[in-house]
Chain A
Amino acid sequence: MHVPEELWYTKEHEWVRFEGGGRARMGITDHAQHELGDITYVDLPGVGKQVTQGAELMVIESVKAASDVYAPVSGTVGEVNTALADAPELINKDPYGGGWLCVLSGVDEGEKARLLSAAEYRALLERQ
Chain B
Amino acid sequence: MKLIYEQSRPGRRGVRVPECSVPRAKARIPARLRRKEPAALPEVSELDVIRHYTNLSRLNFSVDTNYYPLGSCTMKYNPKVCEKVARLDGFAKLHPLLPQLRNGGMLTQGALKVLYELERMLAEVTGMAEMTLQPMAGANGELTGAMIIAAYHAARGNDKKRFLIPDSAHGTNPATAAIAGYGVTPIPSDGEGCMDLKALEKELSDDVAGVMLTAPNTLGLFEKHVQTICRLVHEVDGLMYCDGANMNAFVGRVRPGDLGFDVVHLNLHKTFATPHGGGGPGAGAVGVVEKLRPFLPISRVIKRDDGTYALDYEAPQSIGYIAPFYGNFGVLLRAYAYLRMLGAEGLREVSTHAVLNANYVRVKLREKYETPYDRMCMHECVISARRQERHGVRALDIAKALLDRGFHAPTVYFPLIVHEALMIEPTETESKETLDAFIAAMEEIAELAETEPARLHAAPVTTPVGRLDEAAAAREMILTA
Is A38 in contact with B471, judged by CB distance below 8 angstroms?
Answer: yes
In the complex, what's the smallest C-beta–C-beta distance from A82 to chain B, in angstroms? Answer: 16
Could you pull out 22 A-B pairs where Cβ atoms are within 8 angstroms?
A: A35-B419, A37-B413, A38-B470, A38-B471, A38-B474, A39-B471, A40-B471, A40-B474, A40-B475, A41-B474, A41-B475, A61-B474, A63-B470, A63-B471, A63-B474, A64-B413, A64-B416, A65-B413, A65-B416, A88-B475, A89-B471, A89-B475
CB-CB contacts below 8 Å: A12-56 with B: 35, 37-41
B412 to chain A, nearest CB (A): 8
**Across the interface, which residues of A come within 8 angstroms of B474, CB to CB?**
38, 40-41, 61, 63
Residues of chain B within 8 A (CB-CB) of A38 are 470-471, 474
Which has the most chain A C-beta neighbours within 10 Å: B416, B419, B470, B471? B471
- Smallest Cβ distance from B385 to chain A, in angstroms? 13
What are the residues of chain B within 8 A of A89 when measuring CB–CB? 471, 475
14 further contact pairs, Cβ within 8 A, besides A35-B419, A37-B413, A41-B475:
A38-B474, A39-B471, A40-B474, A40-B475, A61-B474, A63-B470, A63-B471, A63-B474, A64-B416, A65-B413, A65-B416, A88-B475, A89-B471, A89-B475
Give the chain A neighbours of B470 by CB distance below 8 A: 38, 63
A35: B residues at CB distance < 8 A: 419
Q: Give the CA-CA distance A88 to B476 in the complex, in Å.
A: 11
Per the bound structure, the CA–CA distance linking A63 and B474 in Å amounts to: 7
Q: Residue on B with the closest CB to A66?
A: B171
Q: Which residues of B contact A37 (CB under 8 A)?
A: 413
- Complex formed: what's the CA distance from A103 to B416 in Å? 29
- Which residues of chain B have a CB within 8 Å of any CB of chain A? 413, 416, 419, 470-471, 474-475
Give min CB distance, B391 to chain A, whole Å: 16
Give Cα A64 to B414, complex, Å.
Answer: 8
Q: How far, in whole Å, are A61 and B475 apart by their CA atoms in the complex?
A: 10
Distance (Å) between the CB of B478 and the closest chain A CB?
14
Closest A residue by C-beta to B419: A35
CB-CB under 8 A from B471, the residues of chain A are 38-40, 63, 89
Q: Min CB distance, A98 to chain B, in Å?
A: 16
Nearest A residue to B469 by beta-carbon distance? Answer: A38
Nearest residue in A to B471 (C-beta to C-beta)?
A38
**Interface SS majority for chain A:** loop
* CB-based nearest A residue for B416: A65
How distant is the Cα of A40 from the Cα of B470 in the complex, in angstroms?
A: 9
What B residues does A88 contact at CB under 8 A? Answer: 475
Closest partner residue, chain B, to A38 (CB atom): B471
Q: Nearest CB to that of A64 among chain B residues?
A: B413
The residue of chain B having its C-beta at the shortest distance from the C-beta of A128 within the complex is B419
Minimum Cβ distance to chain B for residue A17 (Å)? 27
Minimal beta-carbon separation of A30 from chain B (angstroms): 15
> Chain B's nearest CB lies how many Å from the CB of A12?
13
> Smallest CB-CB separation from B394: which chain A residue?
A37
Docked complex Cα distance between A64 and B471 (Å): 10
- For B421, the closest partner residue in chain A by CB is A64
- Chain B residue nearest to A36 (CB atoms) is B413
B413: A residues at CB distance < 8 A: 37, 64-65
In the assembly, what is the distance between CA of A15 and CA of B413, in Å? 24
Name which residue of chain B comes closest to A65, CB basis. B416
Q: List A70-99 residues whose CB lies under 8 Å from chain B.
A: 88-89
Tell me the minimal C-beta distance from B207 to chain A in angstroms: 20
Chain A residues positioned under 8 Å from B419 (CB to CB): 35
**Closest CB of chain B to A123's CB: distance in Å?**
18
Shortest CB distance B420–A (Å): 9
Q: Can you list the 3 inter-chain pairs with the closest CB atoms, starting with the nearest?
A: A38-B471, A40-B474, A64-B413
Cβ-closest chain B residue relative to A61: B474
Indicate the member of A38, A39, A88, A89 with the most B CB atoms within 10 Å. A38
Nearest CB in chain B: distance from A55 CB, A: 14
The CA-CA distance from A38 to B476 in the complex, in Å, is 13
Task: Please give me the residue from chain A that is nearest to B412 by CB atom.
Answer: A64
Roughly how many angstroms separate A38 CA and B469 CA in the complex, as a whole number?
10
Taking CB as reference atom, which chain A residue is nearest B470?
A63
Residue of B whose beta carbon sits closest to that of A88: B475
| Smallest CB separation, A28 vs chain B (Å) | 16
A85 to chain B, nearest CB (A): 11
Complex alpha-carbon distance, A29 and B471, angstroms: 20
- Closest chain A residue to B476, Cβ basis: A40
Q: Please give the distance in Å from A64's CB to the nearest CB on chain B.
A: 4
Smallest CB–CB gap between B169 and chain A, Å?
A: 15
Residues on B with beta carbons closer than 8 Å to the beta carbon of A65: 413, 416
Q: Which residue on B lies nearest to A35, using beta carbons?
A: B419
CA distance A70 to B128 in the complex (A): 41
Q: How far is the CA of A61 from the CA of B477 in the complex (A)?
A: 14
> A38 vs B472: C-alpha distance in the bound complex, in angstroms?
9
Rounded to whole angstroms, the CA-CA distance of A112 and B419 in the bound complex is: 29
CA distance A61 to B471 in the complex (A): 10
CB distance from A31 to the nearest CB of B (A): 11
Expressed in whole angstroms, the Cα–Cα distance for A68 and B413 within the complex equals 17
Cα distance A64–B474 in the bound complex, in angstroms? 11
Give B475's nearest chain A residue, CB to CB. Answer: A40
B19: min CB distance to chain A, Å: 55
Residues of A within 8 A of B416 (CB): 64-65
A95 to chain B, nearest CB (A): 16
Q: In the assembled complex, how far is the CB of residue A44 from the closest CB belonging to chain B, in whole angstroms? A: 15
* Nearest CB of chain A from residue B460's CB, rounded to whole Å: 17
* Docked pose: A35 CA to B474 CA in angstroms: 17
